[in-house]
Amino acid sequence: MSEDNCIFCRILAGEIPSTKVYEDRLVYAFRDANPQAPTHVLLVPKEHIESLNDAAQGDEALLGHMLRLAPKIANQEGLADSGFRTVINTGGDAGQTVWHLHVHVLGGRPMTWPPG
Ligand code: AMP
């Protein structure tokens, strides 16, 4: 999917409303519209990258930044003691439905393993 009709690019452009949780120069985090846990935040790069398959060597700092932000967002959501799960779905079998790289940050209930 192109950047033009990417839902998350439209959220970043302010064309689709979202509930902001965190923002900096590189990333934006907002609440998932269909939460799968009491806390369900999506963390996305402001740059359009379709999936982990499309992340380049030059994106390593960005990816590291996103992973380091996940616990900060979780802690901001009060999940420091209970724990949280980070998920990056990549491709059809993994259940990726929005083709703009995103980290799910989920918490507030016990999670099972393996995932469905
Ligand atoms: P994935 O299936 O890993 O690609 O995750 C995409 C996520 O985006 C799903 O959890 C959706 O509920 C969520 N989502 C889709 N559209 C919106 C939206 N407009 N605002 C917030 N979350 C959304």
Cβ proximity of 82 and 22 under 8 Å: no
pTM reported for the whole predicted model: 0.97
Domain residue limits at 31:
3-107
Residue nearest to atom 1 of ligand 1 (CA): 96
Cα-to-centroid distance, 60 and ligand 1 (Å): 24
For 14-70, how does the pLDDT look when each residue is reduced to its tens digit (9 = 90+)?
Answer: 999 999 999 999 999 999 999 999 999 999 999 999 999 999 999 999 999 999 999
Cα-to-centroid distance, 72 and ligand 1 (Å): 21
Q: Is residue 14 part of a domain?
A: yes
Q: Is residue 90 part of a domain?
A: yes
- Please give the helix or strand (H or E) that residue 27 lies within, else none: strand 27-31
Q: Is residue 84 part of a domain?
A: yes
Whether the CB of 18 sits within 6 Å of ligand 1: yes
Q: Is residue 113 part of a domain?
A: no
CATH code, domain with 87 = 3.30.428.10
Q: Is residue 32 part of a domain?
A: yes
Cα-to-centroid distance, 16 and ligand 1 (Å): 12
Q: Is residue 112 part of a domain?
A: no
Say which DSSP state 11 is in. H
Look at the chain and report how many structural domains it folds into.
1
